Amino acid sequence: MAKSPEVKLAVFGRAGVGKSALVVRFLTKRFIWEYDPTLESTYRHQANIDDEPVSMEILDTAGQEDVLQRESHMRWGDGFILVYDITDRGSFEDVAPLKGLLEDLKRPKHVPLVLLGNKADLEHARQVGTAEGERLAADMACAFYECSACSDAVGSGGGVAEAFYELCREIRRR
């Protein structure tokens, strides 16, 4: 049997935006409230996306690494999920600089990206409008999702898994 292509996905974003919760949600369909925020983990996952098998290696970054560590994570990845928290404007403002760093490092290659606004279940505490997320994604020429690590029932566009799948498709298209 042919080996399925392997893609390396890295999840970036300010500490506390829900990177670990999202990765675990994607892998287990469960929500777990607390993770060690200093922990950095990699996971392997197999899926069929549009009837093609894909092997993923997923790096859940801690969001507080130093410049050198961050650069090595960026070099490692084939594609990136940039996460912010819709209830934390500062986390949204962190996204564009991250994208800038990625472009500098990966130049002249096109960098496969997905923008993800997490914690869409906390509508009452929202600080970043959906339209702002859409605009940023348009600037970065990437897909955009709002979702929640708590539930696939809130947010736009098919939940957490869809964001990971779309990133795999984007890598495949490169």
Q: How far is the CB of 172 from ligand GDP (least distance, A)?
A: 26
- Report the partner that residue 125 touches, choosing among Mg ion, ligand GDP, none (CB closer than 5 to 8 A by kind): none
Closest by Cα among 61, 22, 23 to 44: 23
Q: Work out whether 43 is an interface residue with ligand GDP (CB under 6 A).
A: no
Q: How far is the CB of 173 from ligand GDP (least distance, A)?
A: 27
Q: Which residues bind Mg ion (CB under 5 A)?
A: 19-20
Closest by Cα among 100, 99, 133 to 118: 133
- Report the partner that residue 118 touches, choosing among ligand GDP, Mg ion, none (CB closer than 5 to 8 A by kind): ligand GDP
Residue 29: partners with Cβ closer than 8 Å, 6 or more residues away: none
Residue 110, classed as helix, strand or coil, is coil
Element (H, E) at 84: strand 79-85
Q: Work out whether 21 is an interface residue with ligand GDP (CB under 6 A).
A: yes
| Residues forming beta bridges with residue 6, ordered by sequence position | 55
Q: Is the C-alpha dihedral spanning 71, 89, 39, 26 positive or negative?
A: negative
**In the complex with Mg ion, which residue's Cβ is closer, 19 or 70?**
19
The 112-131 contact track toward ligand GDP, x by CB under 6 A, reads ------xx-xx---------
**Near ligand GDP by CB under 6 A: residue from 4, 5, 8, 35:** 35
115: phi then psi, degrees, rounded to nearest 5: -100, 130
Q: How far is the CB of 22 from Mg ion (least distance, A)?
A: 9
The 47-86 contact track toward ligand GDP, x by CB under 6 A, reads ----------------x-----------------------
The pair of three-digit structure tokens given for residue 32, joined into one six-digit string: 């777990």
**In the complex with Mg ion, which residue's Cβ is closer, 54 or 114?**
114
The pair of three-digit structure tokens given for residue 44, joined into one six-digit string: 């392997």
Sheet holding 52-60, edge to edge: 41-49, 52-60, 6-12, 79-85, 113-118, 143-146
Which of 19-27, 41-49, 50-58, 69-77 is the region at the interface with ligand GDP (rule: CB under 6 A)? Answer: 19-27
